[in-house]
Amino acid sequence: MNKRQFKDKVYGELARITKSMANPHRMEIIELLAQGEVSVEEIAAQTNLPIANASQHLQVLKQAQLVEINRQGNFIFYRLSNDNVFKAWKALRDLGVERIVAVENVVREFRKSKFDFESVTIDELVEKIESGKITILDVRPESEYKQGHIANAVSIPIEELSKRLKELPKRTEIVAYCRGPFCVYADEAVAMLVQAGFKAKRLTEGFPDWKVQGLPIEVSMN
C-alpha cells in the first residue's frame, strides 16, 4: 500500500461516518438515542416515521458502528455505541448553529414566535445549584429520565405537567430541561409554568450535553 492508497483508505472509512449522519432523520435519531436505549417502534413514533423507514435508518447507523443493539427477549433496543457518537453529533450541531445563519434564524424565530422566555446555560445552572435555591425539572418521557438525568431533578413528563403543577414549589426558581436545544418540551413546560405564576426558565442545552461534561447525574432504573 503506497501513501496515496493509505490516505484514500483512511479518509474513505472516515467518510462512512459522515455519510451515515448526513440525513435529517438520522440526525434526529442520534439525538433521541443520546437519551438512552430506545426501541425501533418508539423511534418511529418520536420521529414520525414508518417503522420500516426508522429501521432502515438505524441499519445505516449500525453499519457505520455508531449504534448498537441490546436484545431483551423478543424486544430489540438501540443505543449509541458510546459517548463519542454524541460528542461528534454535538460538535456538528454547534458548528451548524454557529456558522449556518439559516439554522440560527430558524431556532430564534421559532422560539420568538412561540416561546419568548428566558433560558440558562449549563454553566449558569451549575451556579444556581450551588446557591441551593433551584428546582430542576426533567420533562422528558419517564423512560428517558430513568436511564439518566441531572442529579436531583424532578421528573414530570410534559404531557402530565398541567395536572401536576401543585407538586412544584412556587417560591423557588424552576429550570426545565429536555433532550437538547432543538427539543421543545422544555419550552412548552416554561410557557405552562409562567402562565401558572411560577418563575421558570429553560436549560439551553439538554441532558446529554450535561452528561458529557462530566456533571452529576443519576440513574433510576429498577
* DSSP E strand stretches across the chain: 38-39, 67-72, 75-80, 119-120, 134-138, 149-150, 154-155, 173-177, 200-203, 217-218
Residue 91, domain member (yes or no)? no
Residue 99, domain member (yes or no)? no
- CATH code assigned at 164: 3.40.250.10
Residue with cell 439518566: 148
Residue 198 pLDDT = 94
Q: Are residues 129 and 213 in the same domain?
A: yes
Q: Are residues 144 and 210 in the same domain?
A: yes
pLDDT digit string (tens) for 99-119? 888 887 887 777 776 666 788
Q: Which domain holds residue 136?
A: 113-218
Q: Are residues 79 and 117 in the same domain?
A: no
Residue 105, domain member (yes or no)? no
Q: Are residues 79 and 127 in the same domain?
A: no
Q: Which residues does residue 175 pair with via DSSP β-bridges, in sequence order?
A: 136, 201
Q: Which residues does residue 119 pair with via DSSP β-bridges, in sequence order?
A: 202
Using CB atoms within 10 Å of the CB of residue 215, give its burial: 0 to 12 exposed, 13 to 18 middle, 19+ buried. Answer: middle
Q: Are residues 74 and 12 in the same domain?
A: yes
**What's the number of domains the chain is made of?**
2
Q: Are residues 117 and 198 in the same domain?
A: yes
Residue 147, domain member (yes or no)? yes
Residues of the chain with pLDDT below 70 are: 113-116, 222
Residue 182, domain member (yes or no)? yes
Q: Are residues 59 and 125 in the same domain?
A: no
CA–CA distance, 7 with 158 (Å, rounded to integer): 49
> What is the reported pTM?
0.90
- CATH code assigned at 34: 1.10.10.10
Residue 6 pLDDT = 94
Residue 110 pLDDT = 74
Residue 136, domain member (yes or no)? yes
Residue 108, domain member (yes or no)? no
Write the DSSP assignment of 69-107 as a string of letters.
EEEETTEEEEEESSHHHHHHHHHHHHHHHHH-HHHHHHH
Q: Are residues 117 and 202 in the same domain?
A: yes
Catalytic residues: 178
Residue 180, domain member (yes or no)? yes
Q: Are residues 54 and 144 in the same domain?
A: no
Contact 47, 54 (CB under 8 A): yes
Q: Are residues 155 and 196 in the same domain?
A: yes
Q: Are residues 125 and 209 in the same domain?
A: yes
Q: Are residues 81 and 117 in the same domain?
A: no
